Structure 1
Amino acid sequence: MLGLLVVFAVIHSGGAALRTRAEAKIGARAWRLVFAVLSIPSAVVVIAYFLAHRYDGIRIWNLQGVPGMVPSIWVVTAISFLFLYPATYNLLEIPAVLKPQVRLYATGIIRISRHPQAVGQILWCMSHALWIGSSFMLVTCAGLIAHHLFAVWHGDRRLKARFGVAFDRLQAETSVVPFAAVIDGRQQLVFSELVRPAQLGIAIAVGVFWWAHRYIPRGGMAFLHSRLGELLN
């Protein structure tokens, strides 16, 4: 699992590091498509492997029967998705329908945290580690969180190189730790900025995931596991 996460991290963060030079050579849309062709399959392999092995290793704890655990896990997971997905990009830029652009975001969820994807990933890891409780899950969370902490540093470094003083101003007015800049007075929440069409899409997706989880039991991943085994071998 750690090996797969390292491969994904190299593709994802490496692609981000190459973005400026690659876009200058082949254009923003073409580079986004190249990046998607490389990163999406690697993400699918990681997800499939995780689903097939999430209960492997030692079961360190089992809290699944504790009253209130199910709704608590789903609430934290839903919040994590709201941080992870519609936060700092235009969804139509992902398939290059709109021309992908690098921007400085200073509104919406950025007022809460300058790196919402990292916050969302940490929340997702917390909820799923609490629910699953396996040593495999803990290793997976360690790898995911390490990658996103690196991405915090790497992202700030790239934005500083691209925007200079404008990024310094944004950095001074925001925080990585959620709500830290709000609490110490550097930032003020504007709730109307948090209402975006993409958030509705994420809410619908959470509902679909809730419904679909019943069809992803441990044994139900046998087909994906066998196909993945053929790929890795």
Structure 2
Amino acid sequence: MVATHHSSLVMLVLLVLFAVVHSGGAALRSRAEEVIGARAWRVVFASASIPSAVVVIGWFLAHRYDGLRLWNLQGVPGVIPLMWIGTAVSFLFLYPATYNLLEIPAVLKPQVRLYATGIIRISRHPQAVGQILWCFTHAVWIGSSFMVVTCIGLIGHHLFAVWHGDRRLRVRFGAAFEDLKANTSIVPFLAVIDGRQKLDWREFLRPAQLGICIAVGVFWWAHRYIPTAAQAMRNSALEGLLG
């Protein structure tokens, strides 16, 4: 454990830059696509967002136990399955099967759509729900002040994205979005509980969901390499620059 909060401050800066790239790119999307086209903009956006995400992840892995150890629950019975189950569920929200898989690499022309089925019936902003759940499980497991700061940054960005996402959809779709908003909820299952939505399990049987399940398995397997990745980050030139 490193008794310094410098790495936490760096993490906040990296998360702010990450948020600027992602939310800024989302805000620019309509205008940029008019100028260079949807596929070209997807490439430009990915060229900025993927490296920024890699830096954030690398810094997190290298410094996740920095600062003060606020709690240590790793030996408590039930914590390990709680973390793995919670994390697996978080990925179902973080990467919902509402995307056309071929649009992600721009094989098909990327488009903005309104979705009202599947996981959107549970929450209109599933990625925010998934991020909060991921932060909870990892904060319980790691218990460091660095992790708490990371969670504050990630959750703060996603709460902003909730407002920003609704604003962009309202501008693009107008009354159609207002109808969607009236029949969905941000809080998970609230629209189901109050009768505005009914879940249909068949809507969750999509290829993207299978891909997410496979990804969860791959991430579980890859966790054994976290120490190696963390050490590589600590030995990198970027560590020297930021540290």
- Tell me the TM-score normalized by structure 1: 0.96
Q: Which residue of the other structure, out of 133, 136, 158, is the alignment partner of 2:143?
A: 133
Deviations, residues 176-201 of structure 1 (Å, cap 9, x unaligned): 00000000011111111011111111
Q: Which residue of the other structure, out of 115, 125, 134, is the alignment partner of 1:124?
A: 134
Q: Which residue of the other structure, out of 210, 219, 222, is the alignment partner of 2:231?
A: 222
Moved beyond 6 Å, runs of 4+: none
| Corresponding residue of 1:8 | 18
The answer to whether structure 1 residue 84 and structure 2 residue 98 are counterparts is: no
Structure 1 unmatched runs, 5+: none
Deviation at residue 225 of structure 1 after TM alignment: 2.2
| Greater shift in the superposed pair: 198-207 or 156-165 | 198-207
Deviation at residue 230 of structure 1 after TM alignment: 4.5
Deviations, residues 149-197 of structure 1 (Å, cap 9, x unaligned): 0000000000000000000000000000000000001111111101111
- Taking the aligned partners of 1:33 and 1:146, their CA distance within structure 2 comes to 27
8 Å contact kept, 2:96–2:127 = no
- Taking the aligned partners of 2:43 and 2:224, their CA distance within structure 1 comes to 33
| Corresponding residue of 1:62 | 72
| Greater shift in the superposed pair: 205-214 or 144-153 | 205-214
- Taking the aligned partners of 1:42 and 1:231, their CA distance within structure 2 comes to 15
The answer to whether structure 1 residue 41 and structure 2 residue 27 are counterparts is: no
Q: Percent identity?
A: 77
- Taking the aligned partners of 1:87 and 1:179, their CA distance within structure 2 comes to 17
- Taking the aligned partners of 2:40 and 2:147, their CA distance within structure 1 comes to 36
8 Å contact kept, 1:87–1:117 = no
Structure 2 counterpart of 1:176, one-letter code: I
> What RMSD in Å do the two structures reach over aligned CA positions?
1.3
- Taking the aligned partners of 2:160 and 2:223, their CA distance within structure 1 comes to 30
The answer to whether structure 1 residue 152 and structure 2 residue 162 are counterparts is: yes
| Corresponding residue of 1:190 | 200
- Tell me the TM-score normalized by structure 2: 0.92
Deviation at residue 220 of structure 1 after TM alignment: 5.5
Deviation at residue 221 of structure 1 after TM alignment: 1.5
Deviations, residues 108-143 of structure 1 (Å, cap 9, x unaligned): 000000000000000000000000000000000000
- Taking the aligned partners of 2:42 and 2:21, their CA distance within structure 1 comes to 13
Q: How many residues align?
A: 232
- Taking the aligned partners of 2:211 and 2:172, their CA distance within structure 1 comes to 31
- Taking the aligned partners of 1:14 and 1:88, their CA distance within structure 2 comes to 22
Deviation at residue 231 of structure 1 after TM alignment: 5.4
